[in-house]
Structure 1
Amino acid sequence: MSDRDAVGEFLDKWRARWPEWGVAEVFVPRGQREPVLAWMTLVQELTDAAWGGSDPRPGEAKLGWWIEELQGWARGIRRHPLGAVLQKFPVPWTQVAAALPSLRDSRERPVDAGDALAQMRSFSEAVAAIETGLFGGDEAGAPAVIAVNLLQLRIAHHPAEAAPLQVLAQAGEGGALAEWVRQLARQATVDAGSRPRRVFAGLSRARLLRGTPADPVPAIAALWAAWRAARG
């Protein structure tokens, strides 16, 4: 299998979860669209490893592999197909590698909303640094936007364990997830970061506002959310 075919398989995995991106990407500069897809796919690979499955051990091993891989990218060495698109860019790959242990630890249920955001801080800052290098934009406010996006993604893996303990205590087991989604929707913003991040954040917020964070939004809603986010 060629690098191009292998990359395409990984990109298709991301598109399957975010089909509305096919509408939203019209607001991303054409020259950035392939790197955006590859980067978002890489983030998905990392978060899947951190949060996927009932047994954390396979994901921990995969994250260990990714730490070595991203350190290699910084030295001009690549093994993973996504590196064919991304490794050539002079961005701080080692910062992402250094943040992966914190992403692994974020599998644990947070105590409250502040703890949930704190769990995402290191990885969000690394993501913001990469995206600024790849796509430009305001890095200063980007980690806050990214952190909420990540918490929305976290819900899709283990929804029964996604809500913080404080929310669980206040809303009860039956209402905790819905309340946590409402809280994330109130915190979701699209006013910082690169244009691709803002567009993606618009889609993420649209899902949260509908109360279905793991489900795509209709094409018209996606187009409207992406347009508003891109203007920011």
Structure 2
Amino acid sequence: MTDSTALDGFLEKWRTRWPEWRVVEVFVPLSQRQLAVAWFALLQEFTDAMNIAGDPLPADAKLAWWGEELRDWSRQRSRHPLGRVLEPNRAPWFELAEALPALIRLRERPLEPAAAFELTRPLATAVAHVESALFGSARTGQPLVQAISAQWLATRLDGAGDAAIPVHFGNHADSSQRGWSQQLLEQWPARNGGAVPRRLWSALARSRLQRFTAAGEGYAPLSPVRALWLGWRAARRR
């Protein structure tokens, strides 16, 4: 398999999971489109390692490998196909590598909602700073970090179900998966100030969470018209 074929495989895997992206990416500057998909495909590799089922040791080893790979990117060396697109861009790759262990801790059931968000904060902050470098957005403030944290926790809920619900969420009016999804939506800023690619992906992910019923049930793709409307609103709203 050539590097080009391997790269295409990673990009297509992410596009398959987010079919609406083919509609909304029209709002992304042409020069950033492949970069955005490569970056989101990298984040998907991390969330897959977080939501591993069964023996966690292979996923832990994968995250350790990614940590070394990202540190090499900070020295302008890469081995992974995604590095062909991402590594030439100067970004805080080392800081992202340092934040990856949070993914292992996220497999544990959080004690309370605030603790869940606090656990994701270092990782969400590192992601926000990388996106600022990649896409030229100067904003990396609290709304953006909060939105990234909420999206990460939504991904955890979708992958882990009840194991993602905080232990002390039982006194909430609705302590089910659906109840936790509603709490995440309440904590997810609709305006996050991120770059266009982040605003678009955040809008698609937020739409999925609004349609969430239970982990593992999947989602019907948005209609092209609905996706286009959602993308247009996200692209123009900071």
TM-score range for the pair, normalised by the shorter chain length: over 0.9
The structural deviation recorded for 1:169 is: 5.0
Q: Would you say the 8 A contact 2:110–2:165 is kept in 1?
A: yes
Residue type of the alignment partner of 2:198 = R
Provide the C-alpha distance between the structure 2 equivalents of 1:139 and 1:30, rounded to a whole number of angstroms: 23
Residue type of the alignment partner of 2:38 = A
Provide the C-alpha distance between the structure 2 equivalents of 1:215 and 1:161, rounded to a whole number of angstroms: 20
Provide the C-alpha distance between the structure 1 equivalents of 2:154 and 2:3, rounded to a whole number of angstroms: 31
Q: Which residue of 2 aligns with 1:148?
A: 150
Question: C-alpha deviations, 1:167-208, integer Å up to 9, x for none?
Answer: 245467xx5101011111222224221111111111111111
**Superposed counterparts of 1:137-216, under 5 Å:** 137=137, 138-140=139-141, 141-170=143-172, 176-191=176-191, 192-212=193-213, 214-216=218-220
Provide the C-alpha distance between the structure 2 equivalents of 1:10 and 1:148, rounded to a whole number of angstroms: 24
Provide the C-alpha distance between the structure 2 equivalents of 1:5 and 1:139, rounded to a whole number of angstroms: 34
Provide the C-alpha distance between the structure 2 equivalents of 1:31 and 1:80, rounded to a whole number of angstroms: 21
Q: Would you say the 8 A contact 2:146–2:187 is kept in 1?
A: no
Q: Is it true that 1:69 corresponds to 2:74 in the alignment?
A: no
Residue type of the alignment partner of 1:222 = A
Residue type of the alignment partner of 2:106 = S
Q: Would you say the 8 A contact 1:103–1:119 is kept in 2?
A: no
**Superposed counterparts of 1:2-81, under 5 Å:** 2-81=2-81
Question: C-alpha deviations, 1:123-172, integer Å up to 9, x for none?
Answer: 10010000000012211132111111111111222113121112245467
TM, length-normalised to structure 2: 0.91
Provide the C-alpha distance between the structure 2 equivalents of 1:169 and 1:62, rounded to a whole number of angstroms: 37
**Which contiguous aligned blocks of 4+ residues in structure 1 show a shift greater than 6 angstroms?**
none
**Superposed counterparts of 1:88-99, under 5 Å:** 88-99=88-99
Give the helix-richer structure, 1 or 2: 1
After TM superposition, the structure 1 stretch with the greater mean CA deviation from structure 2, 66-75 or 53-62, is: 53-62
Provide the C-alpha distance between the structure 2 equivalents of 1:121 and 1:156, rounded to a whole number of angstroms: 19
Q: Would you say the 8 A contact 1:149–1:201 is kept in 2?
A: yes
1:190/1:30 Cα in 2 relative to 1: closer, same or farther (>3 Å)? farther
Q: Which residue of 2 aligns with 1:218?
A: 222
The structural deviation recorded for 1:105 is: 1.1
Q: When the two structures are aligned, how many residues end up with a matched partner?
A: 230
Q: Which residue of 1 aligns with 2:104?
A: 104
Q: Would you say the 8 A contact 2:129–2:140 is kept in 1?
A: yes
After TM superposition, the structure 1 stretch with the greater mean CA deviation from structure 2, 128-137 or 50-59, is: 50-59
The structural deviation recorded for 1:216 is: 4.5
Residue type of the alignment partner of 1:68 = E
SS at match of 2:133: helix
Q: Which residue of 1 aligns with 2:118?
A: 118
Provide the C-alpha distance between the structure 2 equivalents of 1:27 and 1:121, rounded to a whole number of angstroms: 28
SS at match of 1:158: helix
Give me the CA root mean square deviation.
1.7
Structure 1: state its 5+ residue gaps: none
Residue type of the alignment partner of 1:139 = T
The structural deviation recorded for 1:209 is: 1.6
Provide the C-alpha distance between the structure 2 equivalents of 1:187 and 1:170, rounded to a whole number of angstroms: 15
